[in-house]
Structure 1
Amino acid sequence: MACDGAAALCSESSSSRGDEEVTLAVKWSGRDYTVRVCADDSVGELKRLICEVTNVLPKRQKLLYPKAPPSKLSSDSTLLSDLQLKSSFKMTMIGTVEDDIIVDPVDAPEIVDDFELGQDDVTDIKDKVVNIQKLNRRINQYKVELLNPCRSGKKLLVLDIDYTLFDHRSTAENPIELMRPYLHEFLSAAYAEYDIIIWSATSMKWVELKMGQLGVLNNPNYKITALLDHLAMITVQSDSRGIFDCKPLGLIWAHFPEYYNSKNTIMFDDLKRNFVMNPQNGLVIRPFRKAHINRGTDRELVKLTHYLLAIAELEDLSKLDHRKWEAFTERNI
């Protein structure tokens, strides 16, 4: 995706200014790259696209652009429409590729202030035209690499990693010490009824490394269908909560429509905001932190195994209120 000349402005037919695409030239480490962005994208979204072509993680990037105030470029929430991008200017990115990541870097951004969105906010976000357009662009841009074939007749379980399957902030001599208790038993039981996709808001290199260290990728009792990383996420905006990233399940459904849809998919994540484009499919799992203290008593995956198996025969999982999963399990087990 190297660029030999200056960037060109691509005015594609659209119903709004926010849908106009700009092919932006980005210079990094002596080479020119191109990324396609829209005016309604944020700086955070731009960094994600730059990461896709350079492998420099967004948190490691510093962007420079003529006539753009540094304060705006340093904020991931700044919309590109506020930067007045022009084809005659080239953006410069300063950053370093992380080649040897053993554990998730301690300075990685951590979201602990998850928030509750009102029903009106959720409806507005998932139905907003600009967010649907972003999802469609991500579907076209992101390629899902299958590790194992999708299985006809199986439902889909999508799992987060950090604080869902793994305590990525505590220290340990062996990664196994930070693995959530009963992880392999949980995945083995779920695999009987569900295909399993792992989706993390980190880089693919980190996803592969951690899942490999935990023995998830080569376990004889279950198979992982695919791994997704932060590049599959999209940025959305809420009037009450501002700009944030989320995980749109519509990306998976669009890539594998013959297997997965809103009726047969459930997603576990410790952050409610990640469900905003598909709130009826999300279950908020209790975060697994301080593994050295809690691994002896944490039974979240045991209880969720019962829930997954109890709902596996239902025709439409999206009709369930996953906030009440524990009460449902007690009634049906």
Structure 2
Amino acid sequence: MRGDLLDYLTVSRARASASTSFPFFIGILISTPPLTSITIIVTWSTLLHYYICQLNNLADLDSDRGNPTRRPTPLTMGVLPLGRVRYWILIELFLLMVFGILPLQSLCAKIGVVALLLTVTYGNVYQKCSPRISPVIIDFLYGFSMGLPILIVGAEFGDLNSQTYWILSLCVGLNFTILNMFAGNMKDLEWDINSGCQTTAIELGVRPLAKKEGIQLTWSYRTLLAVTQIFLSIVTVAAIFPNIHPDSGAIFFLSLLAILATVGGFADILRRIRCKILRPPSGNSSPLAFRLYITRPAHAFLNLASVCAVTGVFSPNPLVSVAILSALIVGTFLLIAIGRRSAVVSLNS
């Protein structure tokens, strides 16, 4: 039992697609709640992270079993019983409901928590096999769930009449929608197709080329990705444009950074989708290089940098806020790497 629990935790760390703490921290940095409340929020968001990861693991299990790019884990190899994983998931959901709703004073925050749990549950269980909802809507639902924590924290500790929370929620939501449409849809494209999964890319006709020479993109997919990024860039620039005053010091610097980053993100997306075929980086055709090219696109980091800068613009402590969010992003990628390695070690021990 104890060994299974350790396997469960390591696999959760291995499958983190994005830290759910990120939007909660944005809400914290804007609202500045008491230290006790911050501790509760971080603890709750960490439990939510494990809950989401295991839902995602179960949903992608068939695809992962046939995917050689996925390292063997206790779950994919059958070492960790599925019944026990489902049992722990139910316990996590119960704890999330109880400790996510009861301590809150704001009715809007309580409704937000329920909406968040419903969207992440449905979105992760049916992310690639929804019987009624298009994968395109599922990707935007994922973005909505990533932006919702900012509104929850704002409802409890801030003022939702302020446009700040809505702007940041929209920026984060569009950011992660783009991340999932590109990196999330592309990284396992071949195995998703073989497993009968449905993603935005697959529904819009994106297919891998023979001999693994690249990925065939379609006009509809490229248009959707570009339009979403354009909308994100417009929202970002419109939100911070009034703050661009040369005499405002750090705010002026962060405003320029946000604009440059979001424009850079748009330029990177255009560079990748300007042709009908997405190919490996020039001069390097190794599978690993192409996988990193897909899963670690420059626009993902530029969009995240833009969100960090926008948060700094609206935060009472601009530079401190940017430093905290940047450290959280770096820590997330380190956690993913450590989690994958520990999952393999756990399996081999």
Structure number with greater CO (CA < 8 Å, separation at least 6) is 2
Q: Write 1 or 2 for the structure with the bigger share of helix.
A: 2
Does the pair score TM above 0.5?
A: no
TM-score range, shorter chain: under 0.3
TM-score of the superposed pair, with normalisation by structure 1:
0.21
Q: Write 1 or 2 for the structure with the bigger share of strand.
A: 1
